[in-house]
Amino acid sequence: MSTKTTTKTTHYHQQKARRAKFLEDWRDNHRTVIRGDDVKVEQTARGMRTGVYMGEDGDNPTRSIDALVHEVDHGVVTTIHRHSWDAMVLGVGGRGWLEIDGERVHVAPGDSAHIPAWAWHRSGNDQDETFRYLTFSSEPLLATMGMSILDDRGHEPVENLPGRPEFSAPDVQGDDAYARRLRRLGKEQQKRRSGRLHTDWDELEMLNTPRGTRTTFLLDRAIGYQASGITMAMFEIGQGRQQSMHRHAGEAWLYVVEGDGHSYLGTEPEGGENHPWKKGDLIVVDHFLWHQHFNDSKENTARVVRIHMFDSLLETMRALMDPAVLFEEPPDHIRDAQAGDVTTIVWPALDRPSWP
């Protein structure tokens, strides 16, 4: 067997071309607002319908997270599968359930759930109305490392399925490097496999922020989840009000749960573009763009769920790029002027969202 290198171009030219292609593909597939009305859902082998807001399987590849929508009709139980990445779930219509490693979690509009990596899961619907939910996963990030693995077992009973990959218990003795690694990774897996799985809409508490909104966590380590770095939070913008301007290095995706408005996006605080959005749309805020979100209704608030990977990917970037500033907002007096006095907003009752 020959081991001779047969490339006809230098290491320099190979890497230069590869990096250029990577950026070209990323730029060609960039989106700003994906209209919910434009997302086509199609029947799949799992027994449900699926559509892609953002992701390679919808012909618009991303590099860190993807966004899909799923519909499960009355009486349907999907096939059971697992994958090497984790996923966040947001209920947006109807009522149904997710079964995660044999534990059933009920999901209604506004509820959220976490599907850990390698957890067997399926969904079902015992109600008359179609169950509709969104998923946001880290599959694109794992794909860049060649670690995306999907295992579908049809309708195999849960008791016949293999468990998650085994790991060594963290009780090994010794102070050498290998013993330390066994203990460190064992403790990490124990923690990861004991995380929270579900947030009920009725448990949410919204709190005012200096940015002119009120917010709450949906899925985050601050409230007991153990995810790969994807987090979900919801913020609400008052009637005719806006969130203060800011920018950051990583992408932020925003799903509009309720309301109509627009977002300012630009490389500078002034001179950018305004992008209108409405309920069911997905807003993609590109990296390091100044952005500000506005509620165009004078009568109703707007509710938006924000998804990003700042808890892992951006933290790594911050370490690699220190002392560069990767999160920036105006000085407090400008921020406060943009946000206005949030205490004067009359917030409505936190009723569950409806679809459509």
Domain locations in the chain as residue ranges = 24-152, 199-344
**Average pLDDT of the residues in 8-22:** 77
Phi-psi map region of 294: left, alpha, beta (phi>0 left; psi -120 to 50 alpha): beta
- CATH T-level topology, domain 199-344: Jelly Rolls (2.60.120)
- Within this chain, domains 24-152 and 199-344 share the same CATH topology: yes
Whole-Å CA distances, 225 to 20, 144, 356 = 37, 25, 29
* pLDDT tens per residue, range 159-185: 999 999 999 999 999 999 999 999 999
Q: Are 301 and 351 in contact (CB under 8 A)?
A: no
> 3-class SS at 33?
strand
Confidence (pLDDT) at 7:
61
Of the two residues 80 and 64, the one the predictor is more confident about is: 80
Phi, psi of 264 (to 5 degrees): -85, 130
CATH numeric code, 24-152: 2.60.120.10
Which residue, 243, 241, 257, is CA-closest to 290?
243
As beta bridge partners, residue 282 has 34, 255
Percentage of the chain lying above the pLDDT 90 cut: 76
Q: Show Cβ contacts of residue 184 under 8 Å, excluding neighbours closer than 6 positions.
A: 170
> Would you give the distance in Å from CA 65 to the centre of its chain?
6
Q: Which run of H or E residues covers position 337?
A: helix 332-339
Q: Is 19 exposed, middle or buried (0-12, 13-18, 19+ CB in 10 A)?
A: exposed
Q: Show Cβ contacts of residue 348 under 8 Å, excluding neighbours closer than 6 positions.
A: 300, 301
Alpha-carbon distance of 110 to 213, in angstroms, equals 18
Of the ranges 16-25, 43-52, 135-144, which one carries the lowest mean pLDDT score?
Answer: 16-25
The pair of structure tokens assigned to 338 is 């943009």
Confidence (pLDDT) at 326:
77
Alpha-carbon distance of 324 to 320, in angstroms, equals 9
The pair of structure tokens assigned to 270 is 């002034």
Residue 244 clears pLDDT 80, i.e. is over it: yes
Residue ranges in 162-311 assigned as alpha helix (H): 177-192
* pLDDT tens per residue, range 68-123: 999 999 999 999 999 999 999 999 999 999 999 999 999 999 999 999 999 999 99
Alpha-carbon distance of 75 to 102, in angstroms, equals 19
Residue 8 clears pLDDT 90, i.e. is over it: no
Rounded to two decimals, the pTM is 0.91
Task: Report, in angstroms and rounded to the nearest whole number, the Rg of the chain calculated over CA atoms.
Answer: 22
Confidence (pLDDT) at 179:
97
Q: Are 137 and 88 in contact (CB under 8 A)?
A: yes
**Average pLDDT of the residues in 6-31:** 75
